[in-house]
Amino acid sequence: MSFFEEVYKLLKTIPVGRVTTYGDIAKALGCPRSSRIVGYALHVNPDPQGIPCYKVVDRNGFLAPAFAFGGEDAQRAMLEGEGIEVVNGRVDLDKYRHRF
């Protein structure tokens, strides 16, 4: 299984109403220095089969401006659709963060 497939598999386990970070995914895969590659996989070259890439934010909770499905506005709409509050382009990680 490729690295990207491993990332996508992990994303499927994020519960509704929760987000995670690039770094949390990289750590869960045993590659803590690979957060940039995770970001690339999710926001530049997303899996076309409905993987919830929008549930990933940066380490400070900010949305991804390069979000492949329409930028920050689309990501915000998807998160808010799950009941996740986004304030000034940022998610409260203390409240919504999911760790693997």
pLDDT of residue 84: 97
Whether 53 is catalytic is: yes
The pLDDT of residue 23 is: 92
Cα-only R_g, the chain: 12
pLDDT attached to residue 39: 80
Domains in the chain, ordered, with CATH?
Answer: 3-96 (1.10.10.10)
**For the whole model, what pTM was predicted?**
0.85
Residue 88 confidence (pLDDT): 95
> What does the block give as tokens for 79?
């998160």
Catalytically annotated residue among 38, 41, 53, 63 = 53
CA distances from 15 to 40, 52, 59 (A): 22, 10, 19
* 7, two tokens: 């990332």
Query: What φ, ψ does residue 43 adopt, rounded to 5°?
Result: -115, -10
pLDDT of residue 69: 64
Average pLDDT, 10 consecutive residues per value, the chain (100 residues): 84 94 93 83 68 89 76 89 96 96
